[in-house]
Amino acid sequence: MTQAARTTITLLVLGVALAVAGVWGWRATMEPLPAKPTSAVCVATRVAAGEKVYPQQVTVSVYNSGRREGLAGRTMQLLKDQGFVRGSSGNAASAKVRRVAIWTTTPTDPDVQLVASYFGKGVDIERRKGPGVGVTVVVGDEFTELAKGRAAVRAASDTTICSPPVN
């Protein structure tokens, strides 16, 4: 085989390899990215009687029932700064809350009592299902700031709370 024939065959093989790599690369860049795995915002966590519940174990959702724009987001940030875990937030314009209300089906649970301690006296704890996950807080136009809440609350009886998933 002559030198010219070897060079031609080598260039053809390299050209085919380049074309295959180009088609593969093009198809790889045009495919959609894999979906981000969704994880639960909170999971049911058993708490035994006498066990302490801390802010890092509590998921909180905040809704704005007032006319002050961004109140739910600011309140959520204040709670996150205290160690609580972000649930959901939004507006609850149809709710009639003047200052702060906590909507829950389990008002005596330690997670509810812990969150309530950060809103001081005069918090309305209403026995009703909230729209959010975890402890649902509804703030109104008269809410201004958090109180110095408790570091932890001891569970009076065995219960289940909504905690962030452990990664």
Residue 90 falls within a domain, yes or no?
Answer: yes
Q: Report whether pLDDT(3) > 80.
A: yes
Both tokens of 131, joined, read 């729209």
Angle at 62 between CA 140 and CA 108, to 5 degrees: 95
Statement to judge: residues 9 and 52 lie in one domain: no
Q: What would you report as the CA-atom Rg of the chain, rounded to the nearest whole angstrom? A: 28
pLDDT digits (tens, 9 = 90+) for 61-115: 999 998 888 999 999 999 999 999 999 999 987 888 999 999 999 999 999 999 9
- Domain of residue 81 covers 43-163
pLDDT digits (tens, 9 = 90+) for 104-148: 999 999 999 999 999 988 899 999 998 889 999 999 999 989 999
Q: How many domains does the chain have?
A: 2
pTM summary value:
0.75
pLDDT at 167: 60
38, part of any domain? no
Q: What is the 3-state secondary structure (H, E, C) of the chain?
A: CCHHHHHHHHHHHHHHHHHHHHHHHHHHHHCCCCCCCCCCCCEEEEECCCCEECHHHCEEEEEECCCCCCHHHHHHHHHHHCCCEEEEEEECCCCCCCCEEEEECCCCCHHHHHHHHCCCCCCEEEECCCCCCCEEEEECCCCCCCCCCCCCEECCCCEEEEECCCC
Q: Does 114 share its domain with 154?
A: yes
pLDDT per residue as tens digits for the range 21-47: 999 989 888 888 777 766 677 889 999
